[in-house]
Structure formats: structure tokens, C-alpha cells
Chains A and B, each alone.
Chain A
Amino acid sequence: MKKIDRSSKVRTGFHQAKWDEPVIFELTQPGERGILVNKADAKVAASVQGTKVLPEFLRRKVAPVLPEISQPRVLRHYARLAQETLGADVNIEIGQGTCTIKYSPKVNDQLANLPQLREMHPLQDESTCQGIMEIMYKTNQYMCEISGMDRFSFQPSGGSQGILAMASLVYSHFKARGEERQRNEIITTIYSHPSDAAAPHVKGFKIIYLQPDKDGYPDYEAFKAAVGEHTAAFFVANPEDTGVYNKNVLKFTKLVHEKGGLCAYDQANANGLLGVTRARDAGFDMCFFNLHKTFSTPHGCGGPACGAIGCAQFLEKFLPAPLLQFDGKKYYYDFQTTNNTSAIGKIREFNGVAPVILKAYAWIRSLGPNGLYQVAKTAVLNNNYMFKKLMELHCVDAPYIPGKQRIEQCRYTLETLYRETGVGTADIQRRMMDFGMHYWTSHHPYYVPEPMTLEPTETPSKEDIDEYIETLKYVFDEAYQNPKLFKDAPYRSVCHQLDESNMDDPEQWAVTWRCYLKKFH
């Protein structure tokens, strides 16, 4: 046997698991069952009427057409689907820019699965929940220290709901002053997440967008023209997805305050700032963190998650109820804010996604203040290292502040590549999968042409980053040598290139198996 050749980092032999697994309904074998269900005790069954108490119209006449499958086959089905999913556990996560896909420590998952959390009912007597309440209370304190805010609520269960909670706080603040009709505008930037506009709409706010100036900062002159007596709040991320930190942020928050508005910080991009700088110090009155991003809790294919919202003390009275308090001896829920007619009331049922909060708690405790600072520094180091290497490539560029540092991610442009080869960012995205790599373009519309958004958190090693860069280079070379190759990529994924032409057509779309059978059989 020859020595194994490791001269190239690129995984040219990669192929994703592909099982050709049928849709679950196709696995039905009438009579098979996946589990035996607890029956009522014979004496119980004999003494009551059961479903016979139901009026005729409430009785189900035809059983739901669910699949009938034995347990091993159900397991195998889902195990195969899991293999056909590129989770962060199996992949170098650099390519899902803005999503802060970092290592989710396994010990935290195990802790969250203990019955003392998993088997807890949210309405249990407080005396029986002191453990989880302590964890939530302390996580709140840590978040306050990290952001400079005075109080956090964990009810928002995702980033978008976090933004809704911020918009709701803004609404409450002005409602309490009788100004909710006058203060009806929220200023944000075109680079902000689409939810920075969509969520405030739900609270009746008008959205005013700012364009970036030549440095990628929100255009201050336009901002001055926009801020006024109708301004309820300024919603902004810093850095934005470009990775450019707005140096003048204090100037912006100061002006908003002078005009009577509030400042809300979308901290979805906080990973590069832990222990380095804080929301409150930059002049913000409220902020939210994605615990499923910055604080390591697993993304779960898109939730459950938490968009923890924090605010300054003067807004605390509007936070969703209840607030968790500590009287020196025990933790308890405080429903005071329910009496405040201007307050939010509730963003979510019960008290937030406890397992997610626990995992964030454990993560913070495994790092401490030095570790969190190291997270930010390494994330920024990784990004700037990658930035330097990629900017050396002829076909890669990045708008704004040339020669300066980025924070934790960067939105690059492949315009040159596209112009010279006809291969665009969407083609690269598909081709990167042939090497087992995620790759993300940008939200729409594309303000940066042919965008590529990469975020190497603190998780990947230098080796991993180099592999990602080598793979990108390999793919760019392919684009120059054989652009045709990209037309049908990917070749080594679970499926070939999608033909989405039926997805907008009511005659052809099929959101469920039932629709599919109706339309195509």
C-alpha cells in the first residue's frame, strides 16, 4: 500500500448520503404499528362512556390517513433523513453567514435532557422549580452584564420574535405617553435583516430605510433628514452583515435621543463583540441576542430557539409578564406588569424555551469572562484571516473600508468571477455542496452584487478555514476552466438541481402528500 496522499485539502471524493428514501406515506403496510398505546384500566373503561359522550357532529367518522409502519422502519426512515441533512456536527460551518453556526457542546444537550427540566410543567408551584428559575435568573444577569442592559426577558423564541418584542417595547413606551400615533416611524438600514422591517409592521410602524454611505455605514446625512418628531426608534445591527462596524454609532444614537426616539440594537451579529463592547455603552435602550447563534444552542433545523430581549430600566415595566425575581431566598414570578395597560403583556406562552436558556447558561459558565472575550477575539481573528486570504484572489472583492478590519463576518462580491466566467454566486453555492460545504449568498434584494456571506465563528480551526478557502479556490478555478460544469451542479448531493417552476403555480404546488396525490395521480 502506498502512502495516503493528503496533498490537497479539497474533498473531491465527497458524496452526501443519498438513500432514495420514499415519502413516509409510501411505507405504509396496513396493519403494521409503530407503538402500543396505554389503554385505560378495564375498570375505568367499564365505568365511563368514553367517546360516546360526544355529540354526533363531533365524532370522527374516518380515521386520519396516517401511515401504518412498524417501529424499526420508522426509525430507519428518519435515521436516513438525518443522514441526508448537513448538520453542523458533520460539517465545517463557515458558509452560513449571519447564522453564527458554532459548536453546540454535547454536555449542554445532555443536561437539558435531564428529567428535572424535560419533565417540568411550566405552571408547577414555584417551590418545585427553583433550579431552573435560578438558571433563568442568572442567565438574565449574565446577559445584562454582557450587554449593559438592566433586565432580560426570554419569552421571544427566535430572532424575529425578538425584533417583534423590541418593536412592542417601543410601542408600549410611546403608548404610555399617549404618543403612539405620532411616533409611528422606525428607521433602519437596507442591510438589516428583513425581519427588522417586517416585525415592526405588525405593531403598526412605518419603516424608513437608509442606504449605506461609501464606508458601508448608514448614510448619516440621510439619517439626519429622516429623524424627527415621528421617529419612534432606530433599529440597527452593528456590524451589519457586511462585517463593517459603524464607528459613528454614538453619533446616531445620540441624535435619535435628542429627537425623543429610542434606539434598538439587533444583536444577531454579536458574536464578535462579547466582552469587547456593549449595547448600552453604544447608546442603545434595548437589544436582543439570539441564544441559538451567539450563545451556542443548537439551531435544530430552525428552532426551538430564543431571541432574548434586554432593555434599560425605564422600559422594564413594559416587558412581557411575568418577570423573574429573587427575594434573597427564593426565585418567584412577578406579574406586576400585567397591571400596566401599556405593557406588552405576553410574547409567548409560559416563560420561554427553558432548554435553550439552560444551554446558553451552561455555555457561558464553561467559558467565563475570559472565554467569552476569547470567543469574540478568535471569531474576529478567524474572519480577518479568511478575509485576507480571500481578498488575495483575483475574482473576490468586498465593498467598503478597503484595508480595514471586519468584525465577525463579511459579505464578499463575486462580480468579477461572474463577469469573466458567467458563473455566479448561486452557481458557486450549488457547486460547494459537491465538496460538503455550506455557502450562503445574501438576503434579497442583493445590495452587493453576486454576494457571498461567510462567517467563520470561533469554532473552526485554522486547518478547517484553510480547507474552506482551498475548496473555494478549487471551485473558482473550475469556473474559469469549465464554466459549463456549473450549469447542472450539484452532482454529489442528495438530489440534482431543483426545477422550482411548479412551486409558484397553484395548479402544481403540493405542500402536503395529500395535495400531491390529488394533483399528480
Chain B
Amino acid sequence: MSVKGFKSHPYIPNSVPEVEQEMLREIGLHSIEELHEEVPDEIVLKENMNLPEAFGSEYELRRHVESLLKKDESCADNLNFLGAGCYQHYVPAICDEINGKGEFLTAYGGESYNDFGRFQALFEFESMVAELVDMEVVNVPTMDYAQAAASAIRMGCRVANRTAVLVPEAMDREKLAVIRNYCTPDLLIVEVAADAGTGCMDLADLKVKLNENVGVVYFENPAYLGMFEMNAREIADAAHQAGAQCVVGVDPISLGVIAAPRAYGADIVCGDVQPLGIHMNYGGGQCGFMATMDDPKYVLEFPSRLFGICRTKEPGEYAFADVAYDRTSFGHLRDKAKEYVGTQTALWGITAGVYLATMGPKGMQEVGETIMQNAQYAAERLAALKNVSLRFDAPVFEEFVLDFNKAGKTVTEINQALLERHIFGGKDLSRDFADLGQCAMYCVTEVHTKEDIDTLVSALNEIL
């Protein structure tokens, strides 16, 4: 017999041999090999799996993992200017304190009776995000911005009962790939050209592509490449005139200073709350949301859970439960797509709630102002460098595209040189947007001091 177990493992109480024997006896067996009698012998493994042996102690495990992670260079020890969907903001200590609480960390799918606090915290998340985006209904969070956008697009198409979708050409290629996969084969995704000067949506091209099949016009504010969508109102109006729904993606941390998209015509809003108190986690901190007004036409199309406030049998007492649990996505006969719900990103939703409660209206306003000031300062200083310019001429929130085409060096080379100076340069756009040539997208937030920005400026000055 060559397959062996692991007796008295600290995570497996009943691997203690005496206990194991007693329990086996109870069920009329002699050894653990007699378990799994229902699995046919021809597919039972005869040897132990080829995996590294267990560490002898928790300490050894810790040392091992730490030694691997020491190979990493983090944004805590380097100066980071990468954004592109995952953002470095200050995470208040209280956010980590709450999401590290064992009760939240290890709860899962209980009812209100078991997990009252989880229901309330997520109801509060929905409520605070609703204030931020000036909408009335927000879901228990989904995977990420891309998934939120994909679901919002499907929702919008169900409401409009149409199957074509217009998206900006200058959007995140990764997000577009997620949307394409999620919407194919039911929906047709069509890209609308960007204005070469501003990077905003080309209204003329939009009007050419709008027709009676278009169910959703999707755009973002700020747009992927950092600029505000200056034609937002015109896009929303054009969409509505064509009978389409207007779906707008936002960066929620901008909404202390930026108008909520409903003000210029959004029907569905989506975005990612990672900037709100969640560490970057190498891309593991993403957490998407959708929002609409409280109209059953929209509410019944949400594929996600919606926690609402609920009565109990005790007069005056309240609890929380699922709203419209029986809702299906069969709003319209011709729509074939039923979406699904499952484990998503609840803990990050709770965390974003803590962040918003901590920041309050004042904090959100201030952080928005700081970000815009820092970003503008950085953009102006960098654009003043020799052979460097801003690629687009439109106001930005926290990201801007630097044009290095005249610099005589590729972005790869520049970023390599920056890296040697412990600076993570902006995202190289040459792969995703070949037409732009050698451009990079820099992200500056409230975590960057003037010295940080000046360090970048002088480093680039040296390199170029």
C-alpha cells in the first residue's frame, strides 16, 4: 500500500489515529482505505500525488512563503504610477481592521438569522454607493469593473429589448475582452471611434452607428485613458433618441467632486470600488457594482443579489433579506440570456462601505480635489519635459497619457530605466493601442506627494 495519510495534522482533528479508529469502528470499517468504496477501482489513485512534502512546521511554511514574496518589489517600496483599472490610494487602517475580523472573513451563505451583520453591512454598502452615484438601487458587489460593465450592458439590452451595443474604441482592452466573452453570441459589440484630439467619443461616428438595433451605448467617465468624457450629455441624449439605454462607468472615488452620471442621462451606472479602501492585491482587490433607479423595469433585471430592509414578526423590529428573490431575467420574450449569481466579492463590498462611512461627504470631496490637483501638477510638469507631451487635450481625473514618440526611446526602455530608479512608470499603451505609438498612461493620486512627482519628473528628465 503506497498511499499514505497524515496523522495528527493540526488542521484535521480526527486524523488522530485513536479517534480515527473509533470512528471507523462506529461505521463498521477497519481502515481509511475502506472508505470511497463507491469510487471504481480503475480510477482510484494507486500512488501518492507528486507534490512537495508538507512543511514540518507553521514557522517553516511562513519562512518559505515570505522568502518567495521577498522576490517581489511592491509599491510600498517603490514609486508607482500605474493605474489602468487598479489604483493605489490610501487605505485607512480601519478598513483592514474590519475586513480582517474573523467573523466577516469566514462567514458565507447564512440567512439573516445567522449573518445579520453581513446583511446589514452589505445593505449599507449598497446604500452608501447609491448616495455616491445618486441612484436608488445598488447590488451586492460583483467581480470587477469589467463584469459589472458586462452585466450592466446585458441588463440594458434586456430593458431595451435589443441586441447591439456601442462601446468606445478607446476603452480598456481587457475589459472589452471580458465584455465580449460575456456577451457573445447573444449581443453584437460595436466600437465607436475616438476623437483624435481629445480621446473622447467621436459624436459623428456615434450617430452613424446608432440605429434601431442598438440597445446600449456604453461609455466611461473618466474614460479609460484618463480624460473626462466631454460629450457625455450629447452621447446620452443621442442614445435615448435612438431608443437605447445609456450605461456609464465611473471611478467612484471621483464622485465627491464629479457630477454623478444620472445628472447627464445615465440609466445604469457601473464601476469598481477597489479605489475605496481596498489594497491593489496584485489585481485581487477589484470589486464591481451596478446602480439604477428604483424602477421594477431595472430592478428585476439585476442578476445579482439585492439586500433590502425587511420586517420581522416582532413589531418595530427590522432585518435584511433578498429583494425580489424570485426575479428572473426573462424580462422579454426574445432575450435568451439568464445570468447567474454566485460567490463574488462581498468582503470588498463591506470594506468599501467602511471606507465611505469613514470618509464621509467631506473626505470624498477632499480626496477628489487632491487627486485632481496632484494629477494636473504632474501632467503639467511632465509635459514640460523635452520631447514629451500630453497626447490628449481634455481635462483628466487621475490618469493622463504621455506621448514619448519624439523621445527617441520606447516606453519599454523608459520604464526599464525608471525601474532602475525604483519608479514604476505608466502603463505602456503600445500593445493595446498600437496607433498611439510610444505612449504611456500615468496615474497620480492623493498618495503622491509633490516630492514623489518631482522625483519622477527629474528621473524622466535624466533618462530622456
Most buried by B among A84, A135, A301, A378: A301
A312 is an interface residue with CB less than 8 A from chain B: no
Contacts of B259 in A (CB 8 A): 57-61
Q: How far apart sit A152 and B202, CA to CA, in the bound complex (Å)?
A: 40
Is the interface on chain A under 10, 10 to 19, 20 to 34, or 35 or more residues? 35 or more
Near B by CB (< 8 A), chain A positions 220-245 give 244-245
A151 is an interface residue with CB less than 8 A from chain B: no
B255 is an interface residue with CB less than 8 A from chain A: yes
Q: How far apart sit A290 and B109, CA to CA, in the bound complex (Å)?
A: 15
Return 23 A-B CB contacts under 8 Å, by A number: A23-B123, A64-B132, A71-B94, A88-B107, A121-B75, A123-B82, A163-B340, A171-B184, A201-B340, A275-B49, A281-B43, A299-B106, A321-B177, A345-B177, A348-B146, A370-B48, A377-B35, A382-B23, A387-B27, A407-B36, A462-B22, A499-B312, A511-B137
**Which stretch, B239-247, B357-365, B398-406, touches the partner chain A?**
B357-365
Given contacts A57-B232, A498-B112, A506-B299, contact A512 B323 (CB under 8 A): no
Q: Is the pair A66, B131 in contact by a Cβ cutoff of 8 Å?
A: yes
CB distance from A357 to the nearest CB of B (A): 8
CB distance from A122 to the nearest CB of B (A): 3
Contacts of A404 in B (CB 8 A): 37-38
Q: Give the nearest-CB partner of A401 in chain B.
A: B38
Contacts of B51 in A (CB 8 A): 142, 145-146, 364, 368-369, 372
Q: Is the pair A157, B345 in contact by a Cβ cutoff of 8 Å?
A: yes
Q: How far apart sit A374 and B424, CA to CA, in the bound complex (Å)?
A: 45
Partner of A301, one of B19, B43, B104, B416: B104
Q: How far apart sit A430 and B40, CA to CA, in the bound complex (Å)?
A: 39
Q: Is the pair B69, A65 in contact by a Cβ cutoff of 8 Å?
A: no
**Which stretch, B207-215, B314-322, B456-464, touches the partner chain A?**
B314-322
B73 is an interface residue with CB less than 8 A from chain A: yes
Given contacts A43-B450, A75-B94, A349-B175, contact A300 B105 (CB under 8 A): yes
Partner of A497, one of B12, B96, B313, B364: B313
CB distance from B51 to the nearest CB of A (A): 4
Contacts of A57 in B (CB 8 A): 232-233, 259, 263-264
Q: How far apart sit A459 and B13, CA to CA, in the bound complex (Å)?
A: 7
CB distance from B223 to the nearest CB of A (A): 12
Given contacts A40-B374, A86-B110, A373-B4, contact A80 B117 (CB under 8 A): yes
Most buried by B among A102, A250, A300, A376: A300
Q: Is the pair B346, A60 in contact by a Cβ cutoff of 8 Å?
A: no
Supply 11 further A-B pairs (C-beta < 8 A) apart from A117-B74, A124-B80, A490-B113.
A23-B123, A35-B92, A44-B453, A129-B72, A180-B185, A195-B342, A344-B181, A349-B85, A371-B9, A458-B14, A504-B325
Partner of A40, one of B23, B53, B377: B377
Q: Give the nearest-CB partner of A75 in chain B.
A: B94
Q: Is the pair B283, A89 in contact by a Cβ cutoff of 8 Å?
A: no
Q: How far apart sit A368 and B138, CA to CA, in the bound complex (Å)?
A: 43
Near A by CB (< 8 A), chain B positions 65-104 give 65-66, 68-78, 80, 82, 84-86, 88, 90, 92, 94, 96-104
Near A by CB (< 8 A), chain B positions 30-65 give 32, 35-40, 42-45, 48-55, 58, 61-62, 64-65
Q: Give the nearest-CB partner of B319 in chain A.
A: A495
CB distance from A230 to the nearest CB of B (A): 15
Given contacts A85-B118, A349-B283, contact A66 B108 (CB under 8 A): no
Given contacts A85-B103, A355-B284, A366-B55, contact A374 B12 (CB under 8 A): yes
Q: Is the pair B377, A85 in contact by a Cβ cutoff of 8 Å?
A: no
Per-position binary interface string of chain A over residues 372-386, scored 1 when its CB falls under 8 Å from any chain B CB and 0 otherwise: 111111101110110
Contacts of A105 in B (CB 8 A): 11
**Which stretch, A106-114, A255-263, A414-422, A473-481, touches the partner chain B?**
A106-114
Q: Give the nearest-CB partner of A520 in chain B.
A: B309
B residues contacting the other copy or chain, number (CB 8 A) = 210
Q: How far apart sit A301 and B120, CA to CA, in the bound complex (Å)?
A: 12
Contacts of A368 in B (CB 8 A): 6, 51-55
B455 is an interface residue with CB less than 8 A from chain A: no
Partner of A381, one of B24, B186, B282, B317: B24
Given contacts A53-B395, A497-B313, A506-B299, contact A352 B136 (CB under 8 A): no
CB distance from B22 to the nearest CB of A (A): 7
Partner of B72, one of A117, A195, A290, A401: A117
Q: Is the pair A54, B395 in contact by a Cβ cutoff of 8 Å?
A: yes
Q: Give the nearest-CB partner of B293 in chain A.
A: A515
Q: Is the pair A496, B313 in contact by a Cβ cutoff of 8 Å?
A: yes
Q: Give the nearest-CB partner of A248 in chain B.
A: B40
Question: Which 6 pairs between the two chains have the least Cβ-Cβ distance?
Answer: A350-B283, A160-B342, A368-B54, A122-B283, A300-B347, A34-B358
Q: Is the pair B181, A128 in contact by a Cβ cutoff of 8 Å?
A: no
A51 is an interface residue with CB less than 8 A from chain B: yes
Q: Is the pair B94, A34 in contact by a Cβ cutoff of 8 Å?
A: yes
A212 is an interface residue with CB less than 8 A from chain B: no
Most buried by A among B58, B299, B361: B361
Q: Is the pair B361, A204 in contact by a Cβ cutoff of 8 Å?
A: no
Contacts of A132 in B (CB 8 A): 68-69, 72, 282
Per-position binary interface string of chain A over residues 142-173, scored 1 when its CB falls under 8 Å from any chain B CB and 0 otherwise: 10011000000000011111011000100100
Per-position binary interface string of chain A over residues 90-106, scored 1 when its CB falls under 8 Å from any chain B CB and 0 otherwise: 10000010010111110
Q: Is the pair A350, B286 in contact by a Cβ cutoff of 8 Å?
A: yes
Q: Give the nearest-CB partner of B108 in chain A.
A: A299
Partner of A371, one of B54, B107, B319, B416: B54
Near A by CB (< 8 A), chain B positions 428-457 give 431, 446-447, 449-450, 453
Q: Is the pair B69, A382 in contact by a Cβ cutoff of 8 Å?
A: no
Q: Is the pair B107, A158 in contact by a Cβ cutoff of 8 Å?
A: no
Q: Is the pair B13, A462 in contact by a Cβ cutoff of 8 Å?
A: yes
Contacts of A384 in B (CB 8 A): 27, 35
Most buried by A among B45, B122, B341: B45
Q: Is the pair B11, A131 in contact by a Cβ cutoff of 8 Å?
A: no
Q: Is the pair B3, A89 in contact by a Cβ cutoff of 8 Å?
A: no
Q: Is the pair B312, A96 in contact by a Cβ cutoff of 8 Å?
A: no
Contacts of A3 in B (CB 8 A): none
Q: How far apart sit A511 and B109, CA to CA, in the bound complex (Å)?
A: 19
Contacts of B45 in A (CB 8 A): 275-278, 281
CB distance from A513 to the nearest CB of B (A): 4
Q: Is the pair B68, A134 in contact by a Cβ cutoff of 8 Å?
A: yes
Partner of B308, one of A276, A405, A490, A510: A510
Q: How far apart sit A64 and B130, CA to CA, in the bound complex (Å)?
A: 9
A50 is an interface residue with CB less than 8 A from chain B: yes
A494 is an interface residue with CB less than 8 A from chain B: yes
B226 is an interface residue with CB less than 8 A from chain A: no
B369 is an interface residue with CB less than 8 A from chain A: yes
CB distance from B128 to the nearest CB of A (A): 6
Near A by CB (< 8 A), chain B positions 16-32 give 19-20, 22-24, 26-27, 32
CB distance from B11 to the nearest CB of A (A): 5
Q: Is the pair A275, B82 in contact by a Cβ cutoff of 8 Å?
A: no
Q: Is the pair B38, A407 in contact by a Cβ cutoff of 8 Å?
A: yes
